[in-house]
Amino acid sequence: MRKVRFIYNPYSGENSIINELDNVIKLHQEVDLTIVPYRIKRGRNLEEALDIIDETYSYILVAGGDGTVDSVVNAMKHRNINLPIGILPVGTANDFGKFISMPQDIQKACKKILDSKPIPVDIGKINDKYFINVASTGLFTDVSQKTDVNLKNTIGKLAYYLKGIEELPNFRRLKIKLTSKECDYDGEMYLLLVFNGKTAGNFNLATQAEITDGKLDVIIFKAIPIIELLPLFIKLLKGEHLDSDKVVYFKTDNVYVESSEDIVTDIDGERGPDFPLRVKCIKGGIEVLGIK
């Protein structure tokens, strides 16, 4: 009987995966697959979850948010494990899961994964770390890092918004230099996002992103007068922001970013590397189940 390594984060979202464990096992047993679970524990190296992986494993099933999926992908890359992954989106933020149209319902997601074939999709790499959805820097990008885990599990995405309000006094212009073969930008900005996916915090920002084009979608929100922010936000809600002269947008497979500002980077809600940043697209970097 073939096996599936099931790596689940019991802290993700509202701990919803805990009540679905039996369904995950049952659905896999029905197609002669044995679930071998690993429960993520804070303070433990996730790579140990891959110690038992051998030729008897068909794929790796991940239950968690974007940050959990990133952690698994990084561990797989470090171990040179090339198995397909399936994603059960049970985190507070599941932007990549939405991008590949994975159902929020665990049983429906499992069935979609089991009925599919693996498809190679792009992933991003920022310095020595991989990411599936978005790397960012600038204002508010570390809100997720600063938000208490227990609060996120209690009130969900509202916790992010509350933390964002706390950060408003830090609103300021930031100097950044960005270099790529498609575009150079040397100036002030509020926010830089480099997308492999489409959404961040439920906002559809990279509206033209594709999962297999070998490109990342770069969006810079320029530092503009406060009075011009509301019209830009309205454009964003309509999906028209990429055409604005207040935004720099382009696709690339390789971009270099420098900044001397006292700001951090973020990779899908987790702390990213320090500047300077080399961000690349790894075309077909991982195989994913359940896409179609």
So which residues are the catalytic ones?
270
Would you state the structure tokens that stand for residue 251, as one six-digit string?
Answer: 């696709």
Beta carbons of 121 and 288 less than 8 angstroms apart: yes
Question: Using CA atoms, how far apart are residues 64 and 3, in angstroms rounded to an integer?
Answer: 20
CA distances from 238 to 203, 205, 241 (A): 10, 10, 8
- Chain position carrying tokens 């890092």: 145
Would you state the structure tokens that stand for residue 11, as one six-digit string?
Answer: 């802290």
Element (H, E) at 258: strand 254-258
> 283, 229, 228, 290: which is closest to 104 by C-alpha?
290
Q: Which 3 state secondary structure label does DSSP give 224?
A: coil
> 84, 76, 72, 131: which is closest to 266 by C-alpha?
131
> 147, 139, 165, 102: which is closest to 270 by C-alpha?
147
Element (H, E) at 168: none
